[in-house]
Amino acid sequence: MINAAVLGSPISHSLSPQLHMSAYKHLDISGNYGSFDVPAGSLRDFLKDKASGWTGFSLTMPLKEEVLSVAEVIDPLVQRIQSGNTLVRQGDLWSLHSTDVRGFQSAWGYQNPSKPKSVLIVGSGATARAAAAAFDDTDTAISVIHRNTERERSMRASVNLSSIKFLPWQFSNDFYESDLIINTTPKAVLDSFAEEISYKPKGTFFDVIYNPWPTRFANAWTKSGSTVISGLDLLIAQGIEQIKLFSGIDFDQQELSVFLKRELASK
C-alpha cells in the first residue's frame, strides 16, 4: 500500500493529492496521498518521525534544493541539476529522485515526435535546471533569459551536451524563433511580456504554471495562433513518474495521462 504526500509551502493550492488519488483508483492501487505545509528550513525536522509507515513524498517549492541535504541516497541526475522532487523510502534510507526532468520530456513528447533544436528557458532556478537537463542534446541549443547571474554556473552544470548561453531580462526575437520556450518563473512574472507579442511565434510555449490558467502570457501566445503546453501537462507527467517510483508497477503512461488530464481539468 502506498502512503505518500506532497510537501511544500504554500501547499493548499496543490492538485497533487487529487492527481495521485485519482490515479491510484484508476490503476486499482491501494494508497493514501495527502499534503503537508512544510516551510523552508523545516524539512529535516518534518522527516524525523516519518522513518516508518511512509512510501515517499513529493516535493515542491521551496524544498527542491533543501532536500539534497536531507536525503541519504541521491540519484546522479539530482546531483547534476541540484534539485530533487521525490523522496522514496528504501529500507532505512531516503532516496532522492527528480521526476521533473522526465516530466518535461514526456509532456513535450506526447505532442511532438522530434526533439526541439532550440530551447529558450525563462528563469534559472531549480525548475529551470530540470528543464535544461530534459532537453540536453548535442543537436539542441539552449538559451536562458534571467536576472540572477550567480545561477549561471549551476545552469551550465545541468547540461552535458547542449550549448548554453545567457540573455538579459528582456523580450527579444528569441521568443519568436525558438522551437520551445519554457517559463519556469512564478506566476505573474512574465505577464509584462504578454503585450510584446505582435505576430505569430514559430515555436511552442511551455508554462510550468497551472493555477491560474491561462496565464496572461500563455493567453497571448494562444491568441497569436501558436501552441501552448500548460503546467497541468507537466504536473501530470512528473506525477506519473512518481507513481511509478512509489508503486513499482508498470502501466500505460499515456493512457493514464489522458485520464488524469480529463479528471483534473474540471477541478
User: For 88-140, how does the pLDDT look when each residue is reduced to its tens digit (9 = 90+)?
Assistant: 999 999 999 999 999 999 999 988 989 999 999 999 999 999 999 999 999 99
Q: Phi and psi dihedrals of 8, rounded to 5? A: 165, -175
Q: Among all chains, which residue has been given the C-alpha cell 524525523?
A: 48
Instruction: Confirm if 73 and 95 have CB atoms less than 8 A apart.
Output: yes
End-to-end CA distance of the chain: 26
The phi, psi pair for 138, rounded to 5°, reads -60, -25
Domains of the chain, first to last:
2-98+233-265 (3.40.50.10860), 112-226 (3.40.50.720)
**Residues 6+ positions from 101 with CB-CB distance below 8 Å:** 77, 81, 130, 133, 134
Predicted local distance difference test score (pLDDT) of residue 111: 87
With 70 as the cut, is the pLDDT of residue 177 above it? yes
Question: pLDDT digit string (tens) for 21-40?
Answer: 999 999 999 999 999 999 99
By CB atoms closer than 10 A (0-12, 13-18, 19+), residue 228 is buried
Q: Are 144 and 203 in contact (CB under 8 A)?
A: no
